[in-house]
Chains A and B, each alone.
With several copies, the nearest count.
Chain A
Amino acid sequence: MWDYTDKVNEHFRNPHNVGKVENPDGEGQVGSLACGDALKLMFKLDDEGRISEAKFQTFGCASAIASSSALTDMIIGKTLEEAEKITNKDIADYLGGLPKQKVHCSVMGREALEAAIYNYRTGKTWSKEIEGEVVCHCFGVTDKEIEEAIRN
C-alpha cells in the first residue's frame, strides 16, 4: 500500500480544476491513448497575463491525479514566467511528498504545462521525443526524466 500524505489523498479524492477550459489560450497534452499515458492541461490568461483559469484531465493513478490538481492550484494567479519555474519537486513538496516510486507521476503535469505554454507562444502542438528506458509503462515516463525529477 502506498503511503500517501493527507494532502495527496485530499487532492486525489476531491481534485480541483477538473475538466476543460472554454476557448483556452494554451493547451497541452502529453502522451497518447496508444502508449497509455495521458494528461491534458489548459489555461486562460487574464488581462495582466496571469493564469486566470487552469483545468486538467488525466488518465492516471492517485499520484497523477493529485499532482495535476495541485499543479493547477499552484499556477492559477501566476504569470507564465512564474508558472514555468515550478518544478516537479515543488509539486511534490506542495503535496507533502510522494512515495519514491511515484515521484514520476508529477513529471507529466509539469510537461503538460510546458506543452501548453509552448502552444500558447507558438500556436503549435508540442511533440516530444522520449529517450531512456521506459520505467513507468503506464505513462511512458523515462528513467532520465525521473532522475531529473528526483534531482530537482
Chain B
Amino acid sequence: MKTVYVDNNATTQIADEVREAMLPFLTDLWGNPSSMHTFGGQVKKHVEAAREKVAALIGAADPQEVTFTSCGSESNNLAIRGGAEAMDKPLHVITSKVEHAAVSGPCHYLEDRGFRLTKLDVDSQGDLDTGALVHEVKSGKSLTSIMWANNETGVIFPVSQIGELVHEFGGIFHTDAVQAVGKIPMNVSELPIDMLSLSGHKLHAPKGVGALYIRRGTKVKPLVLGGHQERGRRAGTENVPYIVGLGVACDLAGKKLSEENDRVKAMRDRLEQGILACCPGSRVNGDSMHRLPNTTNISFDFIEGEAILLMLDDRGICASTGSACASGSLEPSHVLRAMNVPGTAVHGSIRFSLSTYNTDEDIDAVLTELPKIVQRLRELSPFV
C-alpha cells in the first residue's frame, strides 16, 4: 500500500539534498568545531555557513542573530524562560490561547513563579483578539509570545501589528514561527520581532535541530548553561550534521517558497473543496484568508477524530487530529475549543497538511477514501 503522507505540520521527510549534505559530517568530518586542531576546527566554517543560510531564509540582518538549538521546543523555552530572566522587570507575560505546548509550558512556568500571565482569546475564525492585546500591552513592559502561524489550523497571526504594539510600550516580542518558516515569505530584519523560533523537521531537515533568532541587542539568558558554544547562548557540543542539514533545508525552502504558495496551495484548496463538497456536515476550521498555504483543518459533525484517523491509516493515509505531541492526551484540541467550535465538531476534526512532496494523486486518494469513512462512522453515531 502506498503511503499518502498529508501530515507535514507534524513532521516532514528529510530532503535528499539535506541528507546528502549531512553525510560527510556523519562520516569523515566528525571533529569538534571547538577543537584547536585543524581536524576539528575545519568543521566550524560549515556551521557558520549554515547559520548564514538560516539567516537568509528568515531575513536576519546578521547571521550571529541565529542561535542553533536542539528543536523548536527548546527555542521557545530559551526565548520565553531566558527572555523573561534577562528582563529587568519581566512581570507580565502575554500569549494566546492557541499556542503550542512548548510556548504555553514555559509561560505557565513563569506564572508559577509570580509573573502575571495573560492568554489572549481568538475568535471563531481563530483570529487573535488584537483589541485585547492593545489593552494588555499598555499595562507595562511585557514579554509577549504569539505564534506566527497556528499548527492545527494554519491561521496566520498579524505579527507585524502585534510586534508594533508590544514595542510601543517597551515590551519584547517573541514569535513561534515553527509552522511559518519555509511556508510563507518573511523578513525579520524589517519586522518588529525580537525573537523567532524555528524547527528543522518542519522544513525537511531532521528532527532534533532548531534555531532561535535573537535580534541584536535583545537579552536572553541561556537555558542550557555550560561551555561557550553559540557565543554562550547555548552550551553543548554542536550537532554539526544537523546544523549543516538545517542550512541546506533553509536554502531549499527559500527556493521552493513560490511552489509552496502556488502548487501546494492549489492542492490544498482542491482537497478542501473536495471534502466540503462530498462530506455533508463538514466545515473548515480557521480563517481562510489568513492561512498557511499547506494546511486545512476540517471538522465532521457527529463523528470522532481518532476513529477517522485510524480508518484513514488503514488506507495508508497519514493525517492528524490537532498536534501530534498532544496525541497522548484525550482532551479535545485546545485550539478548537478556544475557537468555540460547536458540539461534536470539536471532537471530530482532522488536519491535513501538505508539502511540496505531495502529488495530485495524494489528493485523489484522500478524496476517494474519506467520504466512505465518514459515512461508515456516521452509521455508528447515535446523533444522526
Contact = CB atoms under 8 A, between A and B. Distances in A.
Interface stretch (A57-65, A81-89, A113-121, A125-133): A57-65
Contacts of A64: 304
Contacts, number: 71
Contact of A18 (B302, B304, B380): B380
A152 interface: no
Given A1-B44, A38-B382, A59-B382, A12 B332 contact: no
Interface residues of A, number: 28
Contacts of A13: 311, 314
A138 B306 CA distance: 12
B306 A1 contact: no
Nearest to A68: B380
A44 interface: no
Contacts of B327: 1
A36 B344 contact: yes
A109 to B, nearest CB: 13
B131 interface: no
Q: Is the interface of A mostly helix, strand, loop or mixed?
A: mixed
Given A2-B36, A59-B302, A12 B379 contact: no
Interface string A41-65: 0000000000000000111111011
B344 A59 contact: yes
A40 interface: yes
B330 A58 contact: no
Contacts of A18: 379-380
Contact of A62 (B307, B332, B346): B307
B304 A59 contact: yes
A74 interface: no
A29 interface: yes
B330 A101 contact: yes
B217 interface: no
B304 A60 contact: yes
B328 A101 contact: yes
A137 interface: yes
A34 B344 CA distance: 8
Nearest to B36: A1
Nearest to B331: A137
Interface in B354-384: 379-383
Interface string B320-341: 0000000110111000000000
Contacts of B344: 33, 36, 59
A12 B310 contact: yes
B161 interface: no
B348 to A, nearest CB: 8
Nearest to A136: B330
Contacts of B35: 1
B226 interface: no
Contacts of A60: 304, 307
Contact of A59 (B38, B40, B314, B383): B383
A108 to B, nearest CB: 11
Nearest to B302: A59
A77 interface: no
A62 B381 contact: no
For B37, B40, B331, B382, which residue has the most chain A Cβ atoms within 10 angstroms?
B382
A15 interface: yes
Interface in A7-50: 12-13, 15, 18-19, 29, 33-34, 36, 38-40
A38 B328 contact: no
B380 A33 contact: no
B382 A137 contact: no
Contacts of B346: 36
Contacts of B44: 1
Nearest to A2: B36
A57 B380 contact: yes
B107 interface: no
A138 B332 contact: yes
Interface of B: 33-38, 40-41, 44, 302-304, 306-307, 310-311, 314, 327-328, 330-332, 343-344, 346-347, 379-383
The 6 closest A-B pairs by CB, nearest first: A1-B41, A57-B382, A40-B382, A61-B306, A38-B382, A136-B330
Given A1-B36, A1-B37, A36-B344, 9 more contacts: A13-B314, A29-B382, A57-B381, A59-B383, A61-B307, A62-B306, A64-B304, A65-B380, A136-B330
25 contacts: A1-B34, A1-B36, A1-B37, A1-B44, A13-B311, A13-B314, A18-B380, A33-B343, A34-B343, A36-B332, A36-B347, A38-B381, A57-B382, A58-B380, A58-B382, A59-B344, A60-B307, A61-B304, A64-B304, A65-B380, A101-B330, A136-B330, A137-B330, A137-B331, A138-B304
